[in-house]
Structure 1
Amino acid sequence: SKWMMMAVLNGDVTMVQAMAKNNANNILWPDKYGWIPLHEAAYYGQDQCVRVLLGAQPSMINKCDLKGQTALILAVYREKVACVEMLLEKGADPDLANKDRETPLYKACESGNAEIVVMLLNHGAVVNKHCIQGCTALQEAVSRNNVEICEILVQAGAKLSPTNMYGIAPLFTAAQSGHEETLRFLIKHGADINSEASDGATALYEAAKNGHEDIVELLLSQDADANKAGKKGLLPLHIAAQRGADGIVSLLIKVTSKYRVNRSGVSPLHLAAECNRDAVVEILIEAGYDVNAMLSDDRSMMYEDHRSTTLYFAVANDAGAIPNLDTFNPLLVALRQGSIELVTLLVEHGANVNAYVPTHPTSFPATLIFGMKYLSMLKYLMDNGCDALSCFSCTYGSGPHPPHQETSERDDLRYNTNTLRNTGEPVQFCEVISTRSAGPIIDVLLNYVGHVKLCSRLTEHLDSLEDWEVIKDKARHSRPLMQLCRLKIREQVGIHRLRCIKKLPLPPRLIKYLNHEERNQENVL
Structure 2
Amino acid sequence: YGHLDVVKILIDNDANINAASKEGFTPFCVACQNGHYEVVKILIENNVDINAAGKGGSTPFFDNNINVNAPINGGFTPFYGACINGHYEVVKLLIDNNANINATINKGFTPFYSACQNGYYEVVKLLIDNNVNINLTNDDGVTPFYIACHNGHYEVVKLLIKNNAKINVANNEGFTPFFYACQSGHYEVVKLLIDNNADINGARNDGITPLYIACQNGHYEVIKLLIVNNASINAAKNNEVTPFFVACQNGQYAVVKLLIDNNANINAARNDGITPLYVACENGHYEVVKLLIDNNADVNAARNDGITPLYFACKKGHYEVVKLLIKNNAKINVANNDGIKPFFGACQNGHYEMVKLLIDNKANINAASNEGFTPLYDACVNGHYEVVKLLMDNNANINAAKNNGVTPFYVACQNGLYDLVKLLIGNNADLNAARNDGITPFYVASQNGHHEVVKLLIDNNVDVNAARNDGITPLYIASQCGHHEVVKLLIENNAEINAENDEGFTPLLGACINGHYEMAKLLIDNGADVNAAKNNGVTPFYVACQNGHYQLVKLLIDNNADVNAARNDGITPFHVASRNGHRDVVKLLKECKANRNVARQKVSCLLQ
Q: TM-score, normalised by structure 2?
A: 0.49
Distance 1:41 1:263 in 2: 57
Kindly indicate whether the alpha-carbon contact (under 8 Å) linking 2:383 and 2:417 is maintained by their aligned counterparts in 1: no
Q: 1:309 aligns with which of 407, 430, 433?
A: 407
Residue 44 (structure 1) aligned with residue 142 (structure 2)? no
Question: Given the superposition, is the C-alpha separation of residues 211 and 259 from structure 1 closer, same or farther in structure 2, using an over 3 Å criterion?
Answer: closer
Structure 1: gaps (5+ residues): 301-305, 328-525
Question: Given the superposition, is the C-alpha separation of residues 258 and 110 from structure 1 closer, same or farther in structure 2, using an over 3 Å criterion?
Answer: closer
Aligned residue in 2 for 1:228: 334
Question: Given the superposition, is the C-alpha separation of residues 108 and 263 from structure 1 closer, same or farther in structure 2, using an over 3 Å criterion?
Answer: closer
Question: Given the superposition, is the C-alpha separation of residues 255 and 38 from structure 1 closer, same or farther in structure 2, using an over 3 Å criterion?
Answer: same
Kindly indicate whether the alpha-carbon contact (under 8 Å) linking 1:204 and 1:226 is maintained by their aligned counterparts in 2: yes
Distance 1:77 1:259 in 2: 48
1:330-387, CA deviations, whole angstroms, 9 ceiling, x for partnerless residues? xxxxxxxxxxxxxxxxxxxxxxxxxxxxxxxxxxxxxxxxxxxxxxxxxxxxxxxxxx
Shift of 1:70: 0.4
Question: Given the superposition, is the C-alpha separation of residues 259 and 240 from structure 1 closer, same or farther in structure 2, using an over 3 Å criterion?
Answer: closer
Shift of 1:254: 2.5
Alignment of 1:403-482 (within 5 A): none
**One-letter identity of the residue aligned with 2:150:** Y
Shift of 1:9: 3.5
Question: Given the superposition, is the C-alpha separation of residues 319 and 143 from structure 1 closer, same or farther in structure 2, using an over 3 Å criterion?
Answer: closer
Shift of 1:21: 5.1
Question: Given the superposition, is the C-alpha separation of residues 173 and 263 from structure 1 closer, same or farther in structure 2, using an over 3 Å criterion?
Answer: closer
1:23-73, CA deviations, whole angstroms, 9 ceiling, x for partnerless residues? 36x111101221111012101211222122222225x21101122110011
Aligned residue in 2 for 1:428: none
**One-letter identity of the residue aligned with 1:7:** A
Distance 1:6 1:129 in 2: 34
Residue 213 (structure 1) aligned with residue 322 (structure 2)? no
Shift of 1:252: 1.0
1:78-111, CA deviations, whole angstroms, 9 ceiling, x for partnerless residues? 2211111111110111111112321111111121
Distance 1:146 1:235 in 2: 29
Aligned residue in 2 for 1:87: 193
Distance 1:185 1:262 in 2: 34
**One-letter identity of the residue aligned with 1:314:** A
Shift of 1:19: 3.4
Distance 1:319 1:152 in 2: 51
Q: 1:278 aligns with which of 371, 385, 391?
A: 385
**One-letter identity of the residue aligned with 1:179:** H
Look up the SS of the partner of 1:83 in the other structure. Answer: helix
Alignment of 1:309-328 (within 5 A): 309-318=407-416
**One-letter identity of the residue aligned with 1:36:** T
**One-letter identity of the residue aligned with 2:170:** C
Alignment of 1:86-235 (within 5 A): 86-235=192-341
Distance 2:235 2:275 in 1: 14
Aligned residue in 1 for 2:177: 71
Question: Given the superposition, is the C-alpha separation of residues 260 and 66 from structure 1 closer, same or farther in structure 2, using an over 3 Å criterion?
Answer: same
Alignment of 1:491-502 (within 5 A): none
Aligned residue in 2 for 1:11: 119
Shift of 1:259: 8.6
Distance 1:315 1:12 in 2: 70
Kindly indicate whether the alpha-carbon contact (under 8 Å) linking 2:181 and 2:189 is maintained by their aligned counterparts in 1: yes
Kindly indicate whether the alpha-carbon contact (under 8 Å) linking 1:72 and 1:87 is maintained by their aligned counterparts in 2: yes
Kindly indicate whether the alpha-carbon contact (under 8 Å) linking 1:227 and 1:260 is maintained by their aligned counterparts in 2: no
1:290-330, CA deviations, whole angstroms, 9 ceiling, x for partnerless residues? 212232xxxx2xxxxx333222122212279998xxx9xxx
Question: Given the superposition, is the C-alpha separation of residues 259 and 106 from structure 1 closer, same or farther in structure 2, using an over 3 Å criterion?
Answer: same
Aligned residue in 1 for 2:358: 252
Look up the SS of the partner of 1:27 in the other structure. Answer: coil
Aligned residue in 1 for 2:18: none
Shift of 1:18: 4.7
Kindly indicate whether the alpha-carbon contact (under 8 Å) linking 1:307 and 1:313 is maintained by their aligned counterparts in 2: no
1:247-287, CA deviations, whole angstroms, 9 ceiling, x for partnerless residues? 11111112345398157533211111122111111000011
Kindly indicate whether the alpha-carbon contact (under 8 Å) linking 2:366 and 2:374 is maintained by their aligned counterparts in 1: no
Aligned residue in 2 for 1:337: none
1:396-450, CA deviations, whole angstroms, 9 ceiling, x for partnerless residues? xxxxxxxxxxxxxxxxxxxxxxxxxxxxxxxxxxxxxxxxxxxxxxxxxxxxxxx
Distance 1:191 1:140 in 2: 16
Residue 240 (structure 1) aligned with residue 346 (structure 2)? yes
Aligned residue in 1 for 2:139: 32
Distance 2:116 2:348 in 1: 57
Q: 1:288 aligns with which of 389, 395, 404?
A: 395
Look up the SS of the partner of 2:367 in the other structure. Answer: helix
Kindly indicate whether the alpha-carbon contact (under 8 Å) linking 1:237 and 1:256 is maintained by their aligned counterparts in 2: no
Larger radius of gyration: 2
The size of the alignment, in residue pairs, is 313
Shift of 1:12: 3.8
Q: 1:266 aligns with which of 373, 376, 390?
A: 373
Relative to its length, the structure with more helix (as a share) is 1
Q: TM-score, normalised by structure 1?
A: 0.56
Distance 2:316 2:369 in 1: 24
Sequence identity, in percent? Answer: 29
Aligned residue in 1 for 2:578: none
**One-letter identity of the residue aligned with 1:27:** I
Residue 56 (structure 1) aligned with residue 149 (structure 2)? no
Look up the SS of the partner of 1:261 in the other structure. Answer: coil
Kindly indicate whether the alpha-carbon contact (under 8 Å) linking 1:42 and 1:74 is maintained by their aligned counterparts in 2: yes
Shift of 1:16: 3.0
**One-letter identity of the residue aligned with 1:309:** T
Question: Given the superposition, is the C-alpha separation of residues 294 and 307 from structure 1 closer, same or farther in structure 2, using an over 3 Å criterion?
Answer: closer
Shift of 1:170: 0.5
Distance 2:289 2:145 in 1: 40
Shift of 1:214: 1.5
Shift of 1:15: 4.2
